[in-house]
């Protein structure tokens, strides 16, 4: 299973896979949209993927992310949230 984590960094937001940062973003929304897009692309190859947004309660994320990546993130079984430690 692949896991993309959207995390708050010193100068914005980032997508991490394991301990590697994929790319930085100016906003959480952009990072979530890109993580979802990456997850969708991997799912099309039959792999299991999840997107985790750290420090966000489920009701804080928009109910719908606009763009081609919205299907994966809005499926309840494919999203998780973690509170910051």
Q: What is the pLDDT of residues 21-46, one digit of tens each?
A: 777 899 999 999 999 999 999 999 99
Mean pLDDT throughout 43-69?
71
Both tokens of 19, joined, read 């301990």
Cβ-based neighbours of 55, under 8 Å, separated by 6 or more = 7, 8, 81, 82, 83, 84
Q: Is the model more confident about 79 or about 5?
A: 5
At residue 82, the 3 state secondary structure works out as strand
| Per-residue pLDDT at 23 | 79
Please provide the DSSP assignment of 32-74 as one string. Answer: HHHHHHHHHHHHTTT--EEEEEET--GGGS-S---STTHHHHH
> Cα–Cα distances in Å, from 14 out to 8, 46, 48?
6, 25, 21
Mean pLDDT throughout 69-80?
43
| pTM passes above 0.75 | no
């Amino acid at each position: 299973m692949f896991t993309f984590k959207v995390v708050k960094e010193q100068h914005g937001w980032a997508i991490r896979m394991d301990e590697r940062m994929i790319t930085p973003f100016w906003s959480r929304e952009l990072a979530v949209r890109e993580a979802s897009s990456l997850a969708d692309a991997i799912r099309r190859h039959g792999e299991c993927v999840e997107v985790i947004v750290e420090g966000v309660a489920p009701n804080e994320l928009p109910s719908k992310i606009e763009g081609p990546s919205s299907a994966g993130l809005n499926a309840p079984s494919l999203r998780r949230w973690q509170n910051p430690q």
